[in-house]
């Protein structure tokens, strides 16, 4: 089982924070509301522990998934409780929240939000570590949390989770950016991190 050193956690937290910061700037310039994004903590869990990690309101989720490959492979996933996703979309579009169900238009908005966040985080990580990565176009997944277990190939994948809080007006929406890594890929990431730390 892979564990992170304090230095590794520090540097990853910093990368995620930089990426989220860029994403917030991008979101703020795109819509009329001021959005604050916070990443209180970053942690690493094993894939099979995913349902234990998230609180109960995350059991029914809406998520945006982008696959990446290159020097390390994996999936970057932005996860929201389903009702929170609908609230976030209606806040961003200034439309009344008529139903928690996600239609194609709402999915499009959430996709774009996920795209911006993942773009920020992954772009920062790949830039900082000077890693070349290729990405798929983002897609939308909804259902119970176990659906995320289908992401990736192996059960013992590691997941780097960055809890993210969106603040729009009085609305506080809690989501998570989860980076799913295959074991070998994560080791590659850690090697790059260590190299960066050493530098």
Partner 1 sequence: MNAQFNLLNAISEGACITDSQGNIVFWNQRLEYWSGITATALIGKNIFETFDKFNQQHIKMRIDMLKENSVPIVFSAQLHGYFIPCSLPDGSLRIQRTTLSLLDDHEHILITIQDFTEYIRVNTKQKAINIRLKDELQQRQNLEKQQAQLISAMNQAAESIIIVDQSGHIEYINQTFSKETGWSQDDVLNKKTYQSLHAKKGDNFKKQIKATIRSAKAWQGRQKIKRKDGSLFIASISIAPIVIDHESQVQHAVIIQEDISQQLTLEEQYRNIQKREALSTLVGGIAHDFNNLLAGILGNLYLASREVKELPKTAERLKKVQIAANDAADIVKQLMTFSHTEKVEEYDFPLDSFLKEINKVIQHTVPENINFTLDFAHEKYSMHGNADQLQQTIVNIIQNAVDACQKQNNPTIHMRLNIFNPAQHPEICITHPKLRTGEYAHISIQDNGSGIPLTHQDRIFDPFFTTKQMGSGLGLATSLGVIRHHNGVIEVDSKLNQGTSVHIYLPLKSKNIIPNDNPKELLQEVHILLVDDDALVRETCAEMLESLGYKLTLARDGQEAVEVFKEHSEKFHVIIMDMIMPRLGGLEAAHKIRQITSDIPIIFATGYDQSISIKGAKKFENSVLISKPFHPHNLQEIITSFLHQEQ
Q: Which residues bind partner 1 (CB under 8 A)?
A: 22, 26, 29-31, 66, 68, 92-93, 98, 103-106, 108-109, 111-112, 115-116, 118-120, 122-124, 126-127, 132-138
Q: Closest CB to partner 1 among 57 and 139?
A: 139
Q: Judged by CB, which is closer to partner 1: 44, or 113?
A: 113
End-to-end CA distance of the chain: 26
The residue count of the chain comes to 199
The CB density around residue 151, as the number of other CB atoms within 10 Å, is 19
**Residue 44: which of 170, 158, 172, 189 has the closest Cα?**
158
Considering beta carbons, is residue 100 or 123 the nearer one to partner 1? 123
Minimum distance between the CB of residue 91 and partner 1, rounded to whole angstroms? 12
Residue closer to partner 1 (CB basis): 45 or 107: 107
In the complex, least distance from residue 3 CB atom to partner 1, rounded to whole angstroms: 28
CB-based contacts of 121, cutoff 8 Å, min separation 6: 15, 16, 19, 20, 23, 76, 162, 177, 179
Shortest spacing between CB 179 and partner 1, in angstroms: 13
């Amino acid at each position: 089982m892979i564990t992170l050193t304090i230095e590794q956690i520090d540097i990853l937290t910093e990368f995620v924070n930089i990426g989220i910061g860029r994403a917030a700037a991008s979101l703020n310039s795109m819509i009329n509301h001021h959005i604050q994004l916070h990443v209180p903590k970053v942690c690493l869990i094993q894939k099979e522990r995913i349902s234990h990690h998230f609180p109960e309101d995350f059991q029914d989720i809406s998520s945006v998934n982008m696959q990446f490959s290159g020097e390390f492979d994996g999936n970057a996933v932005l996860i929201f409780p389903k009702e929170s996703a609908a609230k976030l979309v209606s806040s961003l579009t200034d439309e009344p929240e008529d139903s928690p169900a996600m239609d194609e238009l709402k999915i499009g908005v959430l996709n774009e939000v996920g795209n911006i966040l993942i773009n920020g985080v992954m772009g920062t990580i790949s830039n900082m570590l000077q890693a070349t990565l290729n990405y798929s176009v983002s897609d939308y997944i909804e259902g119970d949390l176990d659906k995320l277990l289908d992401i990736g190939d192996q059960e013992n994948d590691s997941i780097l989770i960055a809890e993210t809080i969106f603040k729009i007006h009085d609305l506080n929406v809690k989501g998570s950016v989860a980076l799913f890594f295959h074991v070998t890929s994560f080791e590659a990431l850690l090697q790059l991190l260590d190299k960066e730390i050493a530098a």
